[in-house]
Amino acid sequence: MKKTSSEYMEQTEEYVLHTYNRFPVVMEKGEGVHLYDVDGKEYLDFAAGIAVFALGYKNEDYNQALKDQVDKVIHTSNLYYHAPLAEAAKKVVEATGMSKVFFTNSGTEAIEGAIKVARKYAWLKDGSNDHEIIAMQHSFHGRSLGALAVTGNAHYQEPFKPLIGGIKFAQYNDLESVKAQITEKTCAIILETVQGEGGIYPAKAEFLKGIRALCDEKDILLILDEIQCGMGRTGSMFAYQQYGVMPDVVTVAKALGCGIPVGAFVLNEKTAKHSLVAGDHGTTYGGNPLACAAVSTVFDLFEKNKIVEHVKEVTPYLEKKLDELVEKYDCFTARRGKGFMQGLVVAGRPVSEITSKALENGLLVISAGSDVLRLVPPLVITEKDIDEMIEKLEKSL
């Protein structure tokens, strides 16, 4: 028998480890850009499961492709070849402009893989075990110990030390501070092309280009984390493509499978040739037939529905509407972002006050950093959805 929403919430809190302060709502189903709770209330979703559900909910082509794969085979292990892996890998490699991919089950695992690639690459050169990685303040790369070690957030790190060693931090968008951390031991620099959890900060072009030049000069690997900003969100398939900068390793997850848990680290030819070999890395689930069918279908549907073009086309309208809010309300002091990855800086009240009120008004928005209201909607939103979002948001102030 169906339970009430408070019964589901109580049961969840009774049995699930409390590592999340959840919004007081029990979601049941989704359609297009809307989610519905167990009482049938509709929510306009400008969070998309944290930048995951790019295609919108209940996309028929996507659902059908997954159902077909479920009926064929869900899992085989990586001891065998299968068609979805071959197809998904080709699409990821071509879309990123890289050379080889390794599929993981999550973003944090993609980061773990990228770190192992960097260490192996450096180890092959000099055989030593004391290489360093430079990461950025206010970055977010995940919760496993390696990814946490490169996450520039003392609050997340402190209770779990010692993390992996050899990590140094620099200031994002400050090339001099990166230079100051470089030694002969530096094997990689890792950063998000657009910082997400830290508060929606796009990299400045001079910064990213400067880092690429530094890496080239000293044979340091550039790892770009596009787990949140990749997959069309910023108006190009990957954000680095707007900078004319290529990474040596790129990490992808969130929208990669549009809801099926899957991530990837993708290597250029140099790193693919001089890093991980058979036996160096593995995963039982990673890149299984169901996950790869999802990835493959996502790329097909991005092309069929011209998702990236759509983001590019609608972005000016979204930015204009958000800029009007900044103009009109004292509680918003600035807008930052790229494409459908936008943040409004909130002053004078906690962001959670706005996100909670928005929920009551049928709008899902989330926070980033300590004072940023984050908008990461499905990539299929229209101008009409944006108008509805603005109306609901204004009502929530």
Q: 101 in helix, strand or coil? A: strand
Residue 297 marked ligand-binding = no
Residue 140 binding ligand PLP, by CB under 6 A: yes
Rounded distance between C-alpha atoms, residue 280 and residue 274, angstroms:
12
Which residue's CB is nearer to ligand PLP, number 142 or number 235?
A: 142
Residue 227 marked ligand-binding = yes
The pair of three-digit structure tokens given for residue 93, joined into one six-digit string: 């490699």
Residue 382 marked ligand-binding = no
Residue 190 marked ligand-binding = no
Residue 108 marked ligand-binding = yes
Binding residue for ligand PLP, selected from 69, 186, 228, 242, defined by CB under 6 A:
228
Rounded distance between C-alpha atoms, residue 311 and residue 307, angstroms:
6
DSSP string, 154-190: HHHHGGG-S--S-EEEE-TT-HHHHHTT--TTEEEEE
Shortest distance in whole angstroms from residue 140 CB to ligand PLP: 5
Shortest distance in whole angstroms from residue 254 CB to ligand PLP: 6
Which residue's CB is nearer to ligand PLP, number 190 or number 267?
A: 190
The pair of three-digit structure tokens given for residue 92, joined into one six-digit string: 């990821």
Token pair 């001099």 is at which residue? 176
Which residue's CB is nearer to ligand PLP, number 116 or number 357?
A: 116
Which residue's CB is nearer to ligand PLP, number 225 or number 385?
A: 225
Which residue's CB is nearer to ligand PLP, number 221 or number 262?
A: 262
Shortest distance in whole angstroms from residue 368 CB to ligand PLP: 10
# of chain residues touching ligand PLP (CB under 6 A) = 15
Which residue's CB is nearer to ligand PLP, number 108 or number 271?
A: 108
Piece in contact with ligand PLP (CB under 6 A), picked from 5-13, 113-121, 191-199, 206-214: 191-199
Query: Burial of 23 by CB count in 10 Å (0-12 exposed, 13-18 middle, 19+ buried)?
Result: middle
Q: Please report, for the chain, how many H helices and E strands are present, in that order.
A: 14, 17
The neighbouring-strand residues paired with 337 are 342
Alpha carbon distances (Å) from 344 to 201, 218, 321, 341: 11, 38, 12, 11
Residue 338 binding ligand PLP, by CB under 6 A: no
Residue 253 binding ligand PLP, by CB under 6 A: yes
Q: What are phi and psi of 343, to 5 degrees?
A: -130, 140
Comparing C-alpha atoms, which of 22, 29, 18, 30 is closest to residue 6?
22
* Per-residue mark of binding to ligand PLP, 268-287 (x: CB under 6 A): --------------------
Residue 199 binding ligand PLP, by CB under 6 A: no
Residue 141 binding ligand PLP, by CB under 6 A: yes
Which residue's CB is nearer to ligand PLP, number 223 or number 314?
A: 223
Rounded distance between C-alpha atoms, residue 68 and residue 305, angstroms:
21
Residue 143 marked ligand-binding = yes
Comparing C-alpha atoms, which of 270, 195, 205 is closest to residue 244?
205
Rounded distance between C-alpha atoms, residue 199 and residue 337, angstroms:
9
Q: 43 in helix, strand or coil? A: strand
233 neighbors 198 (Cβ within 8 angstroms): no
* Per-residue mark of binding to ligand PLP, 99-118 (x: CB under 6 A): -------xxx--x-------
Alpha carbon distances (Å) from 26 to 23, 51, 328: 9, 19, 33
Which residue's CB is nearer to ligand PLP, number 112 or number 388?
A: 112
Piece in contact with ligand PLP (CB under 6 A), picked from 12-20, 91-99, 134-142, 353-361: 134-142
Piece in contact with ligand PLP (CB under 6 A), picked from 140-148, 206-214, 240-248, 378-386: 140-148
For the annotated binding site, the residues are: 107-108, 140, 143, 225-228, 283-284
Which residues here bind ligand PLP, judged by CB under 6 A?
106-108, 111, 140-142, 192, 196-197, 225, 227-228, 253-254
